[in-house]
Amino acid sequence: MSTSAARRNRPLLDHMHPLVYAALFGLLLWFILSIWEFAGDGYADYLLAIVSGFVFVAAALPGILWWLWWKNRRPDAAQGESESLRAWAAGELDTWQDRVKGTNAAIEMLLPIAAIAFGMTVLGIVFHFTARGAV
């Protein structure tokens, strides 16, 4: 089968899979926990609480909107509930700019926050080891 024929046979998607959103919120939680590695004196704790609040609100607003949509969706719109992650990832996601493969869309969505969360974790570990060595 040619490449263009295989591309034509992929299902066209207009939504992200719920597990991708769950992974995004998990990475945001990891980021919030990783920035608290830098807590130490009173000033840092105060600023970290403010940053954590901003990140929480930025994550909670889309979560609340999704929950409201989920509770008020049409009864005949149950097709997305039975869709597996593998089937979703094999399809093409239709964005307002282009069509991208589902796997690529998930990676492009999760990679920035994953890099920040993992990077902050590594920086926090290095910070703890160097702070103890400096005393």
Question: pLDDT tens for residues 68-108?
Answer: 887 887 776 655 466 788 988 998 988 888 889 989 999 99
- Whether residue 18 is contained in a domain is answered as no
Residue 134 has pLDDT above 70, yes or no: no
pLDDT at 71: 84
- Does 97 share its domain with 71? no
- Residue 12 is predicted with a pLDDT of 82
β-pairing verdict for 12-13 and 92-94: parallel
What is the dihedral sign for C-alpha 28, 32, 35, 37?
negative
Question: Average pLDDT in the 28-44 region?
Answer: 85
CA 90 from chain centre, in angstroms, equals: 19
Same domain, 69 and 89: no
Domain that holds residue 96: 85-135
Q: How many CA atoms lie within 13 A of 82 on its CB side?
A: 4
The total domain count for the chain is: 2
Burial class (CB in 10 A: 0-12, 13-18, 19+), 121: middle
Determine what percent of the chain is predicted with pLDDT higher than 90.
Answer: 30
